[in-house]
Amino acid sequence: MAETVFTPSLEGMKHVKAENGVILTKPFLDVCKQILPVLDKFGAAMALVKTDIGGNITRLETKYSSDPSKYEHLYSMVQEEVQNKTAKGSSSCTNGLLWLTRAMDFLVELFCNLLEHADWTMTQACTDSYTKTLKKFHGWLASSSFTVAMRLAPNRDKFMEVISGTGDINADIERFCTTFSPFLKENHDFLARVGLDDMKAS
């Protein structure tokens, strides 16, 4: 079967929602994990992002594992923290979900850029998506580190060749962006309803 690096995550997205439309914790985190190998293909340019995503997945997974039936639904851990007034803590699951969602926003925007702007270099595509997503929430230090890292972005043609595998990479990127974006929007809408979607990096 023809496969690209996106094949596992596209398959996983089919299981993110329960029959009643609620986002499930483990399937959502699994999809995020399945995107990490894509980041490996970027090399040093995405090392920061990958570490950040990995750390937030681990934080949420640890909480989920402590009581899988209690935390089966992704937002249950946030609702608990809101009730306990611990949601704004830097090590909270709410903070983890927020930054995980923002990092995924960045990646979706980046791959949309690669589809829509065939003439852009990888650095241009990365910088544009960073400006549209993460930059407004980052302090000076994080923003500077990111800008430096983006200069290490790989050659675009080589990168596309590496992630293509044996499948239709453009079709898979489009499916990834259109299928994953609504889940991320749902996360933001939920976090906004509890007043926590605009937290900045400390």
Domains of the chain: 6-192 (1.10.3520.10)
Angstrom distance (rounded) from CA 95 to CA 90: 6
Angstrom distance (rounded) from CA 175 to CA 19: 21
> How crowded is residue 143: how many other Cβ atoms within 10 Å of its Cβ?
17
Please report how many Cα atoms fall inside a 13 Å half-sphere around the Cα of residue 21, on the Cβ side.
2
The predicted-structure confidence for 42-96, as pLDDT tens digits, reads as follows 888 888 889 999 999 999 999 999 999 999 999 999 999 999 999 999 999 999 9
Q: Reply yes or no on whether the pLDDT at 127 is more than 80.
A: yes
pLDDT for residue 1: 65
**CB proximity list for 51: less than 8 A, separation 6 or greater:** none
The predicted-structure confidence for 100-111, as pLDDT tens digits, reads as follows 999 999 999 999
pLDDT for residue 176: 96
Taking the whole predicted model, whether its pTM rises above 0.85 is answered as: yes
Q: Is 157 helix (H, G, I), strand (E, B) or coil?
A: helix
pLDDT band at 202 (very low <50, low <70, confident <90, very high): low
Question: What is the percent of the chain where pLDDT is above 70?
Answer: 99
Spatial contact of 104 and 36, defined as CB atoms under 8 Å apart: no
pLDDT for residue 132: 94
pLDDT for residue 187: 97
Please report how many Cα atoms fall inside a 13 Å half-sphere around the Cα of residue 10, on the Cβ side.
16
Sign of the Cα torsion 11, 15, 17, 23 reads negative
